[in-house]
Amino acid sequence: MYFLQVSAATQNPDNSFWYLPVALQLLFAIGFIAVMMVVTHFLGPKRPTSDKLTNFESGIESVGNARQPMAVKYFLVAILFVLFDVEVIFFYPYAVNFRGLGWNGFFAVLMFVGFFLCGFIYIIKKGALNWEE
């Protein structure tokens, strides 16, 4: 009977039978993680001391409050880096398929670069990258 089911599954490639190994592996991985977390929670050593409960800052004693205000420029530069870094990632599909895309693809990428440069010029004109105030 099992062989009839397997042969029926091989005739229909869209059958969900082929997802069974993936589902089993996923269930095994989730179960393994859950079991390991529970076992380590119950079997792990619990010796909280005052030294273990203090904050550790790379071996340097903590001084002052950790909630001091920070300049927005750091966050702005980080966000701009991520934004422009992600935009550069969109060049990869064009580089892989540039022959198949032809002139239409070239003009689309040229337009993308134009928008990219407009955004960069806007950021420079607004002074977002100037550190002196």
- Name every residue whose Cβ is closer than 8 Å to that of residue 97 and which is 6 or more positions away in sequence: 105
**Which residue ranges form the domains of the chain, and what is each CATH number?**
2-126 (1.20.58.1610)
pLDDT of residue 23: 92
Q: Is residue 114 pLDDT above 90, yes or no?
A: yes
Winning range, highest mean pLDDT, from 58-62, 71-75, 77-81: 77-81
Is there a contact between 105 and 98 (Cβ–Cβ < 8 Å)?
Answer: yes
Q: What is the pLDDT of residues 85-105, one digit of tens each?
A: 888 888 888 888 888 888 898
